[in-house]
Chain A
Amino acid sequence: MLRQNKNRQSLTKLTKELIKLAESHKVPELKFDEQASKQRFNYQA
């Protein structure tokens, strides 16, 4: 039980840090596009 709580805490902490870093690095949101070339560009951007 204690271990589960600790895992959850570290998961929350890691996720928070990852998302915060992604926001500060301005990682763009991956958006769906009907054109394959644009989709590829969005993925690689």
Chain B
Amino acid sequence: MKIQPISAMFSQTATVLPNDKIVSFRDPHAIGNRALYLLISSRTDSYFQRAIKQFEPFGDKALELLQEQCAHISREDQSGFHQHLVRLKIRDNESASSFIKRFTYAKTTAEAAPNTYSNNQLMDFVLAGLRSSKQDVYRTVLQLYRLERLQGTDFKLREIEQNFFQIDEGIGCDKRQLRTEHTMVAGGTYRGILRGGRFGHRGRGRGRGSVGGHP
């Protein structure tokens, strides 16, 4: 649950979630623990409210139950999440930024499993996932990364994310500009048709006709 930043702001509740792991209160009847229970109860649906009712008023126990029910990780999950991360590939017509977003989700899930990865391994996975892209720009960038890595340059996932984000921004700008140009050209053609085309003649004809026919 996303209550870690909330509980961290108060000294009475900060100790229960120093990171992703739950640390039980020394005094279960502490005000912080009871307030935490009420907070959890306010941010869960009726099903979970009923599930945690057995631990009222102990917030730490309620939180443990929710973690156990929603984010339980077995040995199989550990390898499953690792496989999911390794096999992640960019989809057809997917932007690199979107792929890296999915990759980051998969990475954090795999790391929570808990799997640990070095920076180089993460680079291998993310670049391998991008390799199946059919976009020429991405393929060129991947080649450049490959060359740099062969020369011993280390990159971080954050840097790669930033670079591809900038590339996607550039692609977006180009597309917008092209669309504007197309619209302008189409607008010009349309005006041309109106002036000298079928519609223009019909207008003039109708005008003449109206002049001649209805004086």
Contacts and interface: CB of A to CB of B under 8 A. Distances in A.
A18 B48 CA distance: 19
B34 A27 contact: no
Interface residues of A, number: 23
Contacts of B150: none
A30 B1 contact: yes
A25 B12 contact: no
Chain B interface extent, by class: 20 to 34
Contact of B39 (A18, A31, A44): A18
B45 A7 contact: no
Contacts of A30: 1, 43-45, 48, 66, 70
Contacts of B43: 22, 27-30
B9 to A, nearest CB: 7
A45 B71 CA distance: 11
28 contacts: A7-B31, A11-B31, A11-B35, A14-B13, A15-B35, A17-B10, A18-B10, A18-B36, A18-B38, A18-B39, A19-B38, A21-B9, A25-B2, A25-B5, A25-B6, A30-B48, A30-B66, A31-B44, A31-B45, A31-B48, A32-B45, A40-B70, A40-B71, A42-B70, A43-B70, A44-B71, A44-B109, A44-B112
